[in-house]
Amino acid sequence: MQRRLRRSLGSWALALLGLGIGVLVGIELGSRTVSTHPMQPIPAKAVTVQARSGTLVSIRNDTVTASWRLGESLPNRLNGTVTTVGLNPDRATEVGAGTLLYSISMVPVVAAEGDLPAYRDMTLGQNGPDIAQFQTFLSSQGFPSRDPVGEWRQPTTTAYHSWLAARRFPDADVVKLGSIVFFPKLPVSVFLGKDVRRGAEATAGSIALQVLDKPKLSIATDGSSPRPGTRVTVRVSDRNTLEATVSSRQQVDPSNGMRSAELDFGDASSGAQVWWNDVALTGETTWPAEVVDAGPQTGVIVPVGALRFDAAGAPSVMREDGSIVPVELGVQVGGEVVVTGLSATAVLRLPGQSDAALPSETGAPATSASEPSARGRPTADVLS
């Protein structure tokens, strides 16, 4: 009996405990609200970039080659021993009227300006255009003759002796053929023939002087780059640079097929430039150079990745408020490009973002007169 009573009381206790737990669970669940609506995503913030003012320029290092263009070769007209060399035998030299070129057996050979080459000895009693050229030369040296032009009389002899004395040249009554070298235009760059060396035996007819035209500068090209008009700064030395531009004149080396373009540089009509003396007499001289492939251009700069293109290929950018601003492209260097039609304070959205990120507080996007809206215009791939 007692055992049966204990068993009955245990069953009621378990039943009451289960009922209590169920009540508590029901109360807790009843206090909660279960949402059946999907969670709303947090709007994505637009990725923007800032336009800026600045200057873009693309400069690269390259090499320029220099070589001489050769003019006429002038022969020596005297026989004897080379007693004086007035020019540097290892480099080009600019000569003017009165420059001592060399001397043969103490007879000085001097440069003068004149279109008519010397063709005879000149002395007292002669007439002719060569005499007139010689008189003009004496006058340019400060020793004018009072003789009629083209007539050698005593005043021309006096002027000639005075000039020889002033230069400390041996006195003479005759201007020997070959002692005056007439150049059509002075100054001019020349270099001495290989046989014109002090102590060497000179013979009439051997090449004494090589006239040089202005040097030729060239730069390697693939046919399209660098383009004609590209600016090049050539560093001849630590103290001497040369500004040049790429010309449209190109040539191909038949030995290796390499293509090069000539460079144009300053007017050389006033004579050889300082850097000419650094060009080797034979072969080629190479110098480092900086090539301006693009720019410089100053303006509003934006990342290339901010550009958009419509179906017609017209470029534009999107401002932060979603308005489309047509732009014109300028110089591009790396990942940046100069544009016109945009304010330097503009904040731009990058392409590839959904319209969900556009501002919606004010409704339609803002526009301005200088940057008209074209929102909704189709875009193409970003310029790479």
Q: Are 97 and 186 in contact (CB under 8 A)?
A: yes
Structure tokens at 278: 């650094």
Q: Is domain 74-212 classified as CATH 1.10.645.10? A: no
Distance CA 212, CA 187 (A): 11
Which pLDDT does position 255 carry in this prediction? Answer: 87
pLDDT digits 0-9 by tens, 347-362: 999 987 654 445 543 3
With bands split at pLDDT 50, 70 and 90, how would you rate the model's confidence at 219? very high
- Of the ranges 197-211, 215-229, 303-317, which one carries the lowest mean pLDDT score? 215-229
Which pLDDT does position 275 carry in this prediction? Answer: 81
With bands split at pLDDT 50, 70 and 90, how would you rate the model's confidence at 257? confident
Domain ranges of the chain: 61-68+214-295, 74-212
Name every residue whose Cβ is closer than 8 Å to that of residue 171 and which is 6 or more positions away in sequence: 161, 164, 165
Which pLDDT does position 379 carry in this prediction? Answer: 32
Q: Is residue 293 pLDDT above 50, yes or no?
A: yes
63: part of which helix (H) or strand (E)? strand 52-67
Give the burial class of 130: count Cβ atoms within 10 A of its Cβ; 0-12 exposed, 13-18 middle, 19 or more buried. Answer: buried
Cα–Cα distances in Å, from 63 out to 75, 132, 155, 266, 384? 36, 49, 57, 19, 29
- Of the ranges 5-9, 32-36, 158-162, 210-214, which one carries the lowest mean pLDDT score? 5-9
> When comparing pLDDT for 274 and 268, which is higher?
274
pLDDT digits 0-9 by tens, 169-215: 999 999 999 999 999 999 999 999 998 999 999 999 999 999 998 88
Which pLDDT does position 369 carry in this prediction? Answer: 35
Structure tokens at 155: 């005043």
Class of domain 61-68+214-295: mainly beta
What is residue 140's DSSP assignment?
A: H
pLDDT digits 0-9 by tens, 76-86: 999 999 999 99
Q: Is residue 380 pLDDT above 60, yes or no?
A: no
pTM over 0.85: no
Which residues partner with 263 through β-bridges?
217, 246
Which pLDDT does position 239 carry in this prediction? Answer: 81
Distance CA 72, CA 30 (A): 114
- Report the percentage of the chain scoring pLDDT > 70: 78
- Report the percentage of the chain scoring pLDDT > 90: 61
Q: How many CB atoms lie within 10 A of CB 252?
A: 11
pLDDT digits 0-9 by tens, 144-179: 998 999 999 999 999 999 999 999 999 999 999 999
pLDDT digits 0-9 by tens, 78-114: 999 999 999 998 888 889 999 999 999 999 999 999 9
Q: What is the mean pLDDT of the chain?
A: 82
Structure tokens at 273: 């430039």
Cα angle 281-286-291, degrees, rounded to a multiple of 5: 135
CA 296 to chain centre: 11
Q: Are 100 and 163 in contact (CB under 8 A)?
A: no
Which pLDDT does position 246 carry in this prediction? Answer: 94
Which pLDDT does position 264 carry in this prediction? Answer: 93
What is residue 148's DSSP assignment?
A: P
Distance CA 80, CA 86 (A): 16
AA identity, residue 157: T
Q: Is residue 28 pLDDT above 60, yes or no?
A: no
Which pLDDT does position 40 carry in this prediction? Answer: 57
